[in-house]
Amino acid sequence: MNFIVKTYALFCLSFLLVSCNSEQKMSPEEVAVAFFDAIYNKNDLDEALTYCSPELAQEVSQYVSAKNAARRLFNMSFDSVEINAAFGDMNVRQEFTTSGQLTILFTGYNQGRLYKDLKNIRMIKKDRNWLIDEFLPDPDYN
């Protein structure tokens, strides 16, 4: 009986240690959506900066507020917006490489009018975490 109790206790302890150390990492899509959600819906620049590479975070932090960053960096402003990771370089992300491009789709309202827009970003993988590294130029629809 003593052996069973010790084995059970060891199993429980091992399970707790493994579950505490296995922090769930966000996918590139989740990171991108979380960044733009922090900017547009939560109006929280500090949270948005946690999803950026150090170089990009330094650039974005110069805008001081989320509304200013949204207006100056992305030339978009919304009263309410839905943000989705649209197309992208799915093969790059599935092969666990260190970078890839992602397109983000915005569908939102500003002063009662519906607007849709796309933004392209470059993602990098740093220490097993995906981060936004660069805002790419808007697609040319001509």
pLDDT tens figures, 76-102 = 889 889 999 875 555 544 555 788 899
- CATH code assigned at 78: 3.10.450.50
pTM greater than 0.95 (yes/no):
no
74 within some domain? yes
Sign of CA dihedral 104, 100, 47, 68: negative
**pLDDT bucket at 11, cuts 50 / 70 / 90:** very low
Under 8 Å between Cβ of 112 and 129: no
Nearest to 84 by CA among 121, 140, 30: 30
Domain that holds residue 40: 26-135
Tens of pLDDT, residue by residue over 12-49, are 444 444 444 445 689 999 999 999 999 999 999 999 99
According to DSSP, residue 98 is labeled: S
77 within some domain? yes
103 within some domain? yes
Under 8 Å between Cβ of 118 and 138: yes
Q: How far apart are CA 83 and CA 79, in angstroms?
A: 13
